[in-house]
Amino acid sequence: MATAIAEEVARKLGGRAVLGSTVRSQADLARAVRNRLPLIALKGLSQAGISEQEIETFVIPQRTRRHRADKKQALTVEESDRAVRLLRIQTLAEDTFADKDKANRWLRRILSELGNETPMLIAQTEAGARVIETILGKIAWGAAA
Domain residue ranges in the chain? 2-140
One-letter amino acid for residue 114 of the chain: L
pLDDT of residue 104: 94
Handedness of CA 48, 41, 11, 57 (dihedral sign): negative
- Which pLDDT tens digit goes with each residue over 126-138? 999 999 999 999 9
pTM for this prediction: 0.92
Residue 2 has pLDDT above 90, yes or no: no
> What average pLDDT is seen over the chain?
94
Buried b (16+ CB within 10 A) or exposed e, 10-39: bbbbbeeebbeeebeeeebbeebbeebbbb
